[in-house]
Amino acid sequence: METRKIGSLDVSVVGLGCNNFGRRVDEAGTRAVVDAALDAGVTFLDTADIYGDTRSETFLGRILAGRRDRVVLATKFGMEVAPDKVGAAPGYVRRAIHDSLQRLATDRIDLYQLHEPDPKVPIADTLAVLDELVREGLVREIGCSNFSAQQQREAADAVAGGAARFVSVQNELSLLERSDEADGLAGAAANGLAYIPYFPLASGVLTGKYRRGEPPLEGTRLAHYKERVSDEEFDRVDAFARFAEERGHSLLELAFGWLLSHEHVASVIAGATRPDQVEANMASAAWRLTAEEMAAIAALT
């Protein structure tokens, strides 16, 4: 499995997004998915304290017992876990890291990410306490999520001397949702950050499993976000599928290959609810598009 860098961390180019665990997948199902991921060579697991109402972290803590060192473990803080557990104030950051460490049954977080900007707290204050956590050995690297290019720059400018700084940004990016390409991804390139795209398969639309005119199946991630996929979106999916087929590839291979053909993309974190989905994702990550193919995709969209 090819690896890329997130700061000092080596991660597999396909990661496992853990937001389904504890919500759509119970502990036994989570274990099956994690086992399949590790067997397939995935080394990067990305969760958050809010996923599954904290159950994602708890499940992972039990499932990774005895093999914690096999993975680069990332989690996030800042979104509302409870009315008194939210934000990026220094006091709460210390409480949040303690809670995550306990649930994950580990002594350190490899990549600790601020889940979203907190307009109530100066970013310098948050970075200062994150630097303390790095110096204390509780965190190896720090990152951010849902940060624009401007917010990335403000965070970089707030760091003095050799203090810890964000090494990554995790934002939404896919063939169907490209708006961050000119903002967050361009900012990552300018600010020297690894870029981690989430929702790389557009909540499953880019797997080809949805049909025009049919509502998403109840219980799927797509049904959680929208009532239906528009005809315009299906038109683009059809165009992407033809593009891939003409070159001997699948739509899924194009979804992964397009993202991984961006220099600053470190790992594509795809969620899974079944082991076969993990295996399909891993098998689809080998294609790297040429400059001409990237330009052709830009023309299609």
Active site residues: 51
Report H helices in the chain. Answer: 27-40, 55-63, 90-104, 123-135, 149-157, 184-191, 221-225, 231-246, 251-260, 275-283, 291-300
Alpha carbon distance 292, 58 (integer Å)? 45
Query: In b/e form, how buried is each residue of 139-164, taking b as 16+ CB within 10 angstroms?
Result: bbbbbbbbbebebbeebbebbeeeeb
CA contacts within 13 A on the Cβ side of 241: 11
Alpha carbon distance 210, 207 (integer Å)? 8
Please answer whether residues 137 and 117 qualify as being in contact, where contact means their C-beta atoms are separated by less than 8 angstroms. no
